[in-house]
Amino acid sequence: MPVSASLPADFFPESDLLPALLDLSLAGVVGYAPITDVTGAVVDLAFTYLNPAAQRLLGLPARPTATYLQQFPQSLVNGSFAFHRNALLTTEPQRFMLSHQADSRANYLHLAARRVGTGLLVSLTDTSDYPRSTSEDALRASQAREQEARAAAELQRAQLHHVLMQAPAMICIFEGPEHRFQLVNGPYQALVGERPLLGKPIAKAMPELAGQPIFELLDKVYRTGEPFVATEMLVQLDHDNARPAELEKRYYNFIYQARRDLRGQIDGILVFAYDVTAQVLARHQVEATARQLASLNEQLDASNEELHAANEEFLVSNTELTNTQQALRQLNEELEDRVRARSQDVQAALREAEQQREQLRQQQRLLSQILGQVPAAIATLVGPEHRYSFFNENYLALTGHRAQLTHRVADQLPEIQAQGFVALLNQVYTSRQPHAGAETPVQLLDAATGQLEQRYLDFVYQPILTGQGEVQGILAFLVDATEKVRARQRAATLQAEVLAAAQRRAQEREDLYQVFEQTPAAVGLLRGPEHRMEYINPAFQALFPGRALLGRTIAEAQPEAAAQGFVALLDGVYQTGETYFGTELPLAVAQPDGQPAQTKFFNFAYQPYRENGRIVGISVFTYEVTAQVLARREADQQRGLLHTLFMDAPAPIAILDGPGYVYQLVNPAYQQIFPGRALAGRPVFEALPELADTAVPGLLGHVYTTGEPFVAQELPLQLARHDGGELQELFFNFTYQPRHNAHGQIDGILVFAYEVTEQVRARRAVEESRQQAQAIADELATTNQRLRRTNADLDTFVYTASHDLKSPIANLEGLLTALRQQLPDAALQAPLVTRLLGMMDGAVERFRETLAHLTDVSKLQQADGSPAEAVDLAALVRAVRLDLAIDLAAAGASLAVEIASCPTVQFSAKNLRSIVYNLLSNALKYRAPDRLPIIALRCRRAEGQLLLEVQDNGLGLDATQQSKLFGMFRRLHTHVEGSGVGLYMVKRIVENAGGTITVQSQPGVGSTFTVALPG
């Protein structure tokens, strides 16, 4: 082995030795710097140095400004650029023989290259400097043909490389058992941004794949040679190289296809992949809303089937592409063997060259077959007019079978010219720069309908260069992305619809909650079989003050409800789905601070609510009816007392129920009129059929239908006191008073009757014997006059008392006066009578108040003659306020007085006091139970009038109630005592003085009374 001799240290200056050696060398020396793209792949070379020999051999200056490919575009065809690029990827020296036209004969340049640092150093030797023998010339001719074959094969390799690099699919090639990246196209590189991949094993280039099945799958394919097809496999990568805590989830369809060398040994893996994350997520969204949008699921399933079919087509294509690469690799190795063995027989070389040409033709046919079966639309266009020279079946189908060889694209597809695609072809042809589009919209003619159809394409227009670097045509690589775009659009539409529906449901739920927040009913939503309180409104919380309810179960928050069986009721509703209604059920509610439990009564409904057809909870609607239950019990007690009073009353009283006038109550005094006849429980005209032909049916019907009371004086009726007895003419004074139910509807008639048969007969007897006994007649006349006054007073009393029936004392209706007149002195001294009379005295006292009101009304009807005077309004208000002081304090009311504008009022002092007293006392009486009364009294003058206003925040009145407000005996609220004449008197006082009184009121807000007086 030769050993390098060392030079004496002082023989040549070290700084001059290398430049001199390069200048004198007969071999050319060139220095290159790599030019890379964003993925780190070498795409060109920059000249950094050429010695004189290299300048002579290549015909270039010492520092060319053009790049290697710009200077030698044919290098993509003859393989020299691939040689330089491969040399940069390894540290080992590389050799290459390049055909070079130096004279009339084909010469060769011997190239030797080695990476130095980040650059590439290349040595060139021209073989034309040495003499050639005849056999060598023949061999060189054979080698030239081989080189042409190699160049053609390299051209096909380059074209295939461009197809792979420009394809919209993610493509890479792994080399060796470590799966080292040998080729990475742009879409694949985009998976990890600018992270370098070429030349690195996948385990080092993508360490985040550890723990995922990718490495094992690659090892299995490399070991067994069996392809692996993945559909929608989850792969997590660090796409932005930011090392996040959680990697993004994406889904891919991909194929791992083993690649084999000429010996049939596996030396790598070809990968085709598509990102189908959008489709997978869209399908997941569809599955989440499958019950609402089943049709979209079917469409997505169809899309998945199409993608699966496309994957299978890619698998077939990948297999064929792999076979092509294996054939090309075998061809290269055979050519290199022949170069190294060029000393062999020329004839053998010629035969081998012929074999290579045959293989080339086979490769060309195979390439055409592969391009025809690739699951993409591919066409080659030649010349500046873009005439078809090749297209596969997919392209033909895409164009509706309109593409024809040698015809121009613009003629066959005129619709795309107006859309700018022919202009793009022109641009690619003239600029020699490829153009790529992703999901580009295009309208293509549908042969079936004759209409333009919207499609979406992923496409690449790649210029095809000649050996001299001239553009001879364009390779069009198109993938129909219409279904992918439509699927994404459908998914986006679906997502928007689902989001809108969810927002609507959320808004509806929020609106419902807002309604619940305002409703006086207690509303709660219980979730799950354990009945956990998910929502309660303020009214529900108010039922259990001081307790934490939200988020707790009923058993936890309300143990007394569980103990009293309410949880069992909830369980039954949750299990059966049947709504439960409870009416006035008692619940003993535990009180804070250890106080005794308080029993409350509730009306409620337990109603199951469902999601997706399944019971998930129970809605609770509850009203506390404790006050109603207690009031009804009190009313029942009062009715019992009233019944006792009616039954014990000496005056005849009966109650007729319903439109059939059935005797509901008959007191003993009434029954005594008909001692031998059964009345109770029977209709009037069944019990007393003789009344049917009298005026009674008409009178009862009029009262029942109109609600107007009827008062009869000495009405004669033919009646029998006993069943089957003789009819007698009997005379009665009676009142028919309508009875109203809780809804204000007439449901019966009250009868207050007095038999005056004896009186009438006596009067008639007196009249008949007047001339004979004038004294008796005068006495009878006086008696009759007294009786008429008494009857009139009694009628008036009955009339007024009938409007206050809910107060049992009002129903005495003069019974006490009649009783005192009828009882002898001895009876008056009896203890029982004394006690009963004492009980009645209280009722009489209150009745006197009503009579006093009636007296006042009577006086008012006769016109008010009280003189007007200057009244100190402030003093008057202070006096009224003093009279109401106890009521104000008891109600916790505040009274604001603003009367500075009216120091004096020209009016009757007594009447003005009645107005102020009635309005203020009403504001106190009809206060709202849920808030403290706030009352304002104001006085001002405007437009020649004095305006007196009383405003409160009480119960308020609706429009119907306001229309009845100032009627006599009109009581619109029965929960407080009163006669219903106060406002009537105020209205009469004001109107007699030439003024007006008006009211503005709203239920639940309050009322404002305005009195307008002249002056």
What's the pLDDT band for 969 if we cut at 50, 70, 90?
low
pLDDT of residue 742: 72
How many whole angstroms separate alpha carbon 822 and alpha carbon 830?
A: 14
* The pLDDT of residue 423: 93
State the pLDDT confidence band at 319, using cuts at 50, 70 and 90: low
**Element housing 736 (H / E):** strand 728-740
Greater model confidence, 648 or 316: 648
- DSSP letter at 535 equals E
Which of the residue ranges 212-216, 495-499, 855-859, 868-872 would you say has the lowest mean pLDDT? 855-859
Residue 1003, pLDDT > 80, answer yes
Q: What pLDDT, on a 0 to 100 scale, did the predictor assign at position 559?
A: 85
The stretch 354-371 carries a mean pLDDT of 57
Helix/strand number for the chain, H first, E second = 35, 32
Strands of 466-571, DSSP E: 471-480, 522-527, 532-536
Rounded-to-integer distance, Cα 952 and Cα 562, Å: 44
> Is the pLDDT score of 515 beyond 70?
no
pLDDT number for residue 133 = 45
Q: Quick one: which of 454, 477, 566, 385 has its CA closest to 160?
A: 477
Q: Mean of the pLDDT values across residues 510-533?
A: 80
Q: What is the pLDDT of residues 128-143, one digit of tens each?
A: 655 554 444 554 555 5
Q: Lowest-confidence range among 241-245, 392-396, 517-521, 673-677?
A: 517-521
Q: Which of 346-350, 513-517, 614-618 bottoms out in mean pLDDT, i.e. has the lowest?
A: 346-350
Q: What is the pLDDT of residue 342?
A: 53
Query: Which pLDDT value is given to residue 352?
Result: 58
Q: Which residues contact 906 (CB under 8 A, 6 or more apart)?
A: 868, 869, 870, 871, 1015
- Give the strands of the sheet with 180-184, arranged side by side: 180-184, 170-175, 266-275, 248-260, 228-237
Determine the Cα–Cα distance for residues 47 and 36; give it in Å rounded to an integer. 14
pLDDT, tens only, 733-750: 888 989 888 778 999 998
- Distance from C-alpha of 372 to C-alpha of 365, rounded to nearest angstrom: 10
Domains along the chain with CATH numbers = 18-130 (3.30.450.20), 163-352 (3.30.450.20), 376-440+452-480 (3.30.450.20), 519-624 (3.30.450.20), 630-858 (3.30.450.20), 863-1014 (3.30.565.10)
Q: Which of 101-110, 154-163, 998-1007 has the highest mean pLDDT?
A: 998-1007
- Counting residues of the chain whose pLDDT is more than 90, the rounded percentage is 29
> What integer pLDDT is reported at residue 221 of this predicted model?
95
Give CA–CA dist 248/238, Å, rounded. Answer: 7
CA 508 to chain centre: 7
pLDDT the model gives residue 132:
53
Q: Mean pLDDT score of the chain, rounded to an integer? A: 79
Average pLDDT on 459-485 reads: 85
CA distance 242 to 236: 13
pLDDT computed for residue 980 by the predictor = 60
pLDDT, position 627: 83
Q: Mind listing the pLDDT tens digit for each residue in 635-672?
A: 777 677 667 767 777 778 889 999 999 998 888 888 88
> Nearest-5° angle of CA 283, CA 287, CA 292?
120
Q: Please check whether residue 700 is in contact with residue 692, taking contact to mean a CB–CB distance below 8 angstroms.
A: no
Using alpha carbons, list the distances in angstroms from residue 853 to 728, 729, 850, 866, 995.
41, 38, 5, 17, 22
Q: Is the pLDDT of residue 974 over 70?
A: no
The amino acid that residue 508 corresponds to is E
More confident position, 634 or 771: 634
Average pLDDT over residues 333-343: 55
- At residue 348 the predicted structure's pLDDT band, cuts being 50, 70 and 90, is low
| Residue 309 confidence (pLDDT) above 50 | no
Mean pLDDT within 565-577: 91
pLDDT band at residue 504 under the 50/70/90 scheme: confident
pLDDT at 843 (0 to 100):
59
Task: Indicate the pLDDT class of residue 311, thresholds 50, 70 and 90.
Answer: very low
Write down the pLDDT at residue 878: 93
Query: How does strand 1006-1014 pair with strand 996-1002?
Result: antiparallel
Average confidence (pLDDT) over 713-726: 86
**pLDDT category of residue 411 using cuts at 50, 70 and 90:** very high
Binned at pLDDT 50, 70 and 90, residue 770 comes out as confident
The mean per-residue pLDDT over the stretch 283-296 comes to 58
Least confident of 33-42, 129-138, 231-240: 129-138
pLDDT at 729 over 50: yes
Bridge-based pairing state of the strands 248-260 and 266-275: antiparallel
- Which pLDDT does position 158 carry in this prediction? 63
pLDDT band for 795, please (50, 70, 90 cuts): very low
182's CB contacts (< 8 A; 6+ apart) are 173, 174, 175, 198, 268
Query: Which pLDDT score, from 0 to 100, does residue 292 have?
Result: 53
Instruction: Tell me the pLDDT band of 842, cut-offs 50, 70 and 90.
Output: low
- Angle (deg, nearest 10), helices 909-925 and 873-883: 40
Distance CA 182, CA 198 (A): 6
Q: Per-residue pLDDT for 480 more than 50?
A: yes
Residues 418-443 pLDDT 10s: 899 999 999 999 998 989 888 899 99
pTM beyond cutoff 0.85: no
Q: What is the pLDDT of residue 39?
A: 79
Answer yes or no: are the C-beta atoms of 952 and 934 closer than 8 Å.
yes
